[in-house]
Structure 1
């Protein structure tokens, strides 16, 4: 079987090195998407172009879905899911919580995921059925396992916020209701890294409205292979409406806390 993890890791590392080398002191915003705060930099595009070129060089018949370049056709049954910079605003401001995220989907199922947390020098990887690993300096340093047995009241919970003001207002109401019921809330600014933090035990749980497939495809597999459950509300798969992740038991507690808050009402 193709070593999708190895290839994805090699490409994510090259993209990360390029981003570190070329990041100016003040990266320029070249486009806004859903709102003036939802930005794209020239290096988002450059990173995705590099990743696409490397994939096509190695596997020219594969499809690629990228945040900036959309879905390109292929005939192999393999699709690569690419977020060239997850956490672009952090990247723009020089904050460390951003990553290159690459997943591989075969016949509609994610089988490999790599999240390169570039400023941290950490690479999170997983292959379906083979567990998840954290690497530093290219070496496997630990097999990942999410925290288990944590009750909701003692859970450190990550979340994020959308770009539209109306959605943010609702998300503020929801998090205000969640906060008294948990240990504390963290907002890192990268869905991929939040999910990897659940996988590595740095967070107990995570939920967010408005994340896209490329945000969670790789990291969702990593979290799942580390023992976490990832999904949406009412038994659905993770989706842009709402994505939750936590160990079994805590997942259900957080889900049941969120449902009556009507987090999808914006």
Structure 2
């Protein structure tokens, strides 16, 4: 599908500028996190802070100012309806648990759909000053350098990211890890699914699997992986699919079949 160049490029430019601006705010909070008020959501491991809310408010305000007809879905403030073909999908800080515990593995994740197509995916990692950026048909970059996945990499000669949360039973996670290790693979988990998807696009991980993720955690990463030459499992974007969550799997071509078998997808 070909998108009108100007409308896509303008939104792509906005996504990148918002990521830097939002990242600067989040980094200030991160560097003064001892003063943050932390709240729990679904369980004691699912946390939120004023930083998450302020970053999402900033992103929403920038979108409203530039493209008032666009819809927005964000982790902290839910759905704002729009009249255009575009829907922004935002996680203001993915990896809030690492964030509040002083670890650098958190990021700003900004995606945009045009209709049912993932048109834009931008992930910014403030602690490392890394901007992963992609748009439909424009490729993927890391700090301006083109990303292209190596087809020779697989689960046995590279590392896979695995995610877990309160939606998934401990037994299910243990089974995934066991299957991966039995197949000759190895794994990491860094606390941010969005960041690990960006790592797939950059070739740092050969794949990423999480049995249940929300759209705001994965759509930007999905765009990055696809534009870098990888594959991802479809995410349901029709109806309430964007708010309910789904299994997430993305990989370089050499790991797709193994990881689909492990995930049962």
**TM bucket by the smaller chain?**
0.7 to 0.9
1:229-260 deviation line (CA, Å, top 9, x unaligned): 00069xxx99934211112242112111332x
- 1:31 CA displacement: 3.0
Q: Specify the alignment match of 1:92 in structure 2.
A: 100
Q: Specify the alignment match of 2:137 in structure 1.
A: 129
**Cα root mean square deviation, aligned:** 2.2
Gaps of 5+ in 1: none
- 1:210 CA displacement: 1.7
Q: 1:63 aligned to 2:62?
A: no
- Which is worse superposed, 242-251 or 46-55? 242-251
Aligned residues of 1:29 and 1:39 also touching (Cα < 8 A): no
Gaps of 5+ in 2: 1-5, 236-240
Q: Specify the alignment match of 1:51 in structure 2.
A: 59
The number of aligned residues is: 251
1:49-92 deviation line (CA, Å, top 9, x unaligned): 11111111111111110000001011112111110001110111
Which of 234, 237, 254 is 2:259 aligned to?
254
SS of the residue aligned with 1:133? Answer: strand
Q: Specify the alignment match of 1:42 in structure 2.
A: 50
CA distance in 2, matches of 1:244, 1:70: 24
Aligned residues of 1:155 and 1:182 also touching (Cα < 8 A): no
Aligned residues of 1:151 and 1:250 also touching (Cα < 8 A): yes
Aligned residues of 1:124 and 1:222 also touching (Cα < 8 A): yes
Q: Specify the alignment match of 1:21 in structure 2.
A: 28
Which of 157, 162, 170 is 2:160 aligned to?
157
Aligned residues of 2:22 and 2:59 also touching (Cα < 8 A): yes
1:148-204 deviation line (CA, Å, top 9, x unaligned): 12243223111111136x613321232123223234211111111111111111011
TM-score for the superposition, normalised by structure 2: 0.88
1:84-123 matches, within 5 Å, as 84-123=92-131
Which of 121, 136, 146 is 2:149 aligned to?
146
Which of 156, 165, 184 is 2:186 aligned to?
184
Q: Specify the alignment match of 2:83 in structure 1.
A: 75
